[in-house]
Amino acid sequence: MKAFHADLRLDELDWEDETFAIRSFLPPDRLEISMVQHGMISAPWAWAQEDRKYTIVDGFKRLGWARQKGMEQVPCLVFPAACSHKEVLVLRVEGKLFGPPLNPAEKAQIIAQLARAMPHQFISEHILPALRVPQRNEAVAGWCRLSEAGEDLLMAAASGEIAERTALELSTWSKEERAEILAVLKELRCSASIQMEVAERIKEIAMKEDRQRSAVLQQPEFQALLEEQRSTHRQKTEALRALLTRWRFPRLSAREEKFTRQWNSASLPRAIRLAPPPAFEGERWQLQVVFASPQELQALLEKAKDFAGSPLFESLLSARSPE
């Protein structure tokens, strides 16, 4: 298969054929500035068709810019009609893999295009490692699903507003649910791990209560925290995380609140701290005492000893949550 260089007229290109389109979903500002200053540094790719038309393979933005500027023809690298779709697609993908780092939207489109045309073994052995994607069938299915999840989610993933893992999770949500959770996560501007925590909590609460995710997002208490004008996005994030945790684990949350309330009522020095077992499961508690001298330690231990014999301490150790 030998490609050749040729000057193609722009009216010879099939502008409606996006067979090889892999959109970045990012604004082309820097590319346009570069082309204004230096022209096209590399030639776009085209694939000759039997009807004397050409399918654009690579360089959609560059060719679109040339068309907008009123150019009649552009130097291109042309693949002959004898080339198969698979051959041209593999070269197109190879060109992307050895170019600038790919964003999640581009990765999703690449995997989806290959999944429709190539054997799974080829994708698993040659493409997924390069994209740092697990070599599992379900992983390929997830990325294919993301490629079809709508422009809003792909744009958010491409820009970094939504983390890659979160985007894959949200691709399983309905269109309406995605729109709602995207608005929430864009407002919070939280880290990748917290994005996943919020999404998973909402999904778990919906499953636990047998209702739609939208119903959780539309709860008045949730919306009130989200719309609080005096809170920063960090404060909103922490408030919503606490709310979702309380809804997801009501008994544990009630136990934690009871513990905090009773511990505060003990009025012990801040140098004494009591830590319950994880999730209040088990019988091993921890007492921490911070001191600067033997005399201070002795005084603190006396206070801790007095508290250990009090009814409040017995109540605090109780595993029973308030009704």
pLDDT at position 96, please? 94
CATH 3.90.1530.10 correct for 1-100: yes
Taking each helix axis as running N to C, give the angle between helix 250-266 and helix 233-248, from 0 to 180 degrees, rounded to the nearest 10. Answer: 110
Which ranges of the chain would DSSP assign to H, the alpha helix? 29-38, 60-68, 85-97, 104-117, 120-122, 128-131, 137-147, 151-159, 164-170, 175-188, 192-209, 213-217, 220-226, 233-248, 250-266, 294-308, 311-317
Residue 67 dihedral angles phi and psi, to the nearest 5°: -65, -40
Give residue limits of the domains in the chain: 1-100, 101-172, 174-248, 263-317
All residue ranges of the chain with pLDDT < 50 are 321-323
pLDDT at position 321, please? 44
pLDDT at position 322, please? 43
pLDDT at position 319, please? 56
